[in-house]
Amino acid sequence: MNETEQLLEQVAARARHSAHGHGKPLPAPLGTGEIARAEGILGFVLPPLVAGLYTRVGDGGFGPEHGLLPLRQAVRTYEARRVSGWRWPEGVLPIADFGCAMYACVDCRSETAQVLLFDPNPGEPDLAWSIDAPSLSGWLRGWLEGTAWFCDESGLGEELDLELTPWAEFSSRI
């Protein structure tokens, strides 16, 4: 079993456990046809780990904060953001809504599927993008292990001033 397969199994186990504990079922996984349709609408291919989350674990509802967005919602959010006043970069799919207009997004053009944080609250488009994690697998491991900044349940996380690295590729991708 390779590293990606092992990670998908760990995420699926945590997702099933969380869903069971909250008394609501985990959304069913999607078929490969639904992934292909989404990719056709988006105009880019989803990284294998992103596709695996949706086809092997479920159609959102699990993961950090309020959970991954259902794929259709992620696609609609991407399309809406691309035509909004905020210059949304090509190939950057929002996957989780962190509230207050903030999204965790996957750079689908990155070899590691790096995770970006979109936070429009500073009010300046060039300051809205930062690197949350160098890879989607690392971001998911942070969630599984409870070591990521968004896992802080003490309430102190909101008071911390996160020092995230600005995403240098923003201006070349809009």
Rounded Cα–Cα distance for residues 150 and 162 (Å): 11
Range of the domain at 39: 3-148+164-172
For residue 143, is it within any domain?
Answer: yes
| Residue 153 domain flag | no
106 within domain boundaries: yes
Give the range among 12-21, 29-38, 112-121 with minimum mean pLDDT: 12-21
Read off the pLDDT of each residue in 46-74 and give the average, rounded to a whole number.
Answer: 95
Whether 110 shows a pLDDT value over 70: the answer reads yes
pTM of the model: 0.89
Counting the structural domains of the chain, the total is 1
Query: What average pLDDT does the structure give for the chain?
Result: 88
When pLDDT is cut at 50, 70 and 90, the band that residue 22 belongs to is low
- CATH number where 83 lies: 3.40.1580.10
Position 154 scores a pLDDT of 43
- Between residues 140 and 171, which one has the greater pLDDT? 140
User: Could you tell me if residue 158 is inside a domain?
Assistant: no
In the predicted model, what is the mean pLDDT of residues 75-80? 95
Assign 25 a pLDDT band (cuts: 50, 70, 90). confident
Q: Does the residue 154 lie in any domain?
A: no
Residue 15 lies inside a defined structural domain of this protein? yes
In whole angstroms, what is the distance from residue 81 CA to residue 97 CA? 13
DSSP string, 2-40: -HHHHHHHHHHHHHHHHHHHHTSPPPPPPPHHHHHHHHH
Q: How far apart are CA 128 and CA 171, in angstroms?
A: 11
